[in-house]
Amino acid sequence: MADWLIRALKTFVQAFFGVLIPELCVILNGGFPESIETTWVIFGPIVAAALSAGISAAWNIISEKLKEP
């Protein structure tokens, strides 16, 4: 597996839990208001983590390409 892909997957996991944990704390302390859909509790962290992983992958691919002779 490419090194950039492994780093992107690690970034995805870190970002996912970094966004999910505060949302779970809100739910455990009384929940979200009725106007917010509950599906966003799961899809919000996934979107944030996917964006972070995509940025990480792009950065690492560009870095590797610049190092090549």
Residue 9, pLDDT > 80, answer yes
For the chain, what are the domain ranges? 3-67
Q: Is the pTM of this model over 0.75?
A: no
Question: Which one, of 61, 59, 48, 56, lies nearest residue 18 by Cα?
Answer: 48
Query: pLDDT band at residue 50, thresholds of 50, 70 and 90?
Result: confident
Mean pLDDT of 5-13: 85
Instruction: Encode pLDDT of 11-49 as tens digits.
Output: 888 888 888 787 777 777 776 656 556 667 667 778 888
The dihedral built from the CA positions of residue 26, 27, 28 and 29, taken in this order, carries a sign that is positive
